[in-house]
Amino acid sequence: MANTLRELSLTLGLKNYGAYYYGDYQGYVVTLTEKLTNIILSIAITFPNDDVKADSIRGFVENYKRTYNLVDYTINHSSISMTINDSANARDKLLQLLNKTVGMLEYNKVPGNDVCYFCEKKLQDNYVKAQIEDAFVNMHDKCVDELSRIAEKERNDYIAGKKNYGRGFIGALIGGLIGTIPWIIVDMLGFIVGILGALIGYAAKFGYEKLGGKPRKGKAWILGIVVLFCIIFAQFASTAITLVMETSATGYSLGDLITTTAELIAYSSSLRRSMIINIVIGIVFAGASLAKTFTAVILEGSSGFVNVKKLTGIM
**DSSP line for 258-314:** HHHHHHHHHH-HHHHHHHHHHHHHHHHHHHHHTHHHHHHHHTBTTBSS--EEEEPS-
User: What does the pLDDT read at residue 199?
Assistant: 93
pLDDT in tens, the chain (315 residues): 567 788 888 889 999 998 899 999 999 999 999 888 889 999 999 887 677 778 888 888 888 887 887 888 888 888 899 988 877 678 888 899 999 999 999 988 888 899 998 998 998 877 899 998 889 999 999 999 999 998 888 777 777 666 788 999 999 999 999 999 999 999 888 888 889 999 999 999 999 989 988 777 788 889 999 999 999 999 999 988 888 787 765 666 778 788 888 888 889 898 899 999 999 999 999 988 888 777 766 555 444 567 888 887 776
CATH 3.30.1460.10 in the chain is located at 2-157
How many Cα atoms within 13 Å fall on the side-chain side of residue 78? 21
Nearest to 80 by CA among 28, 128, 36: 28
User: What does the pLDDT read at residue 207?
Assistant: 94
The CATH number of the domain covering residues in 2-157: 3.30.1460.10
Bridge partners of residue 238, in order along the sequence? none
- Whole-number Å distance between alpha carbons of 120 and 28: 15
User: What does the pLDDT read at residue 86?
Assistant: 76
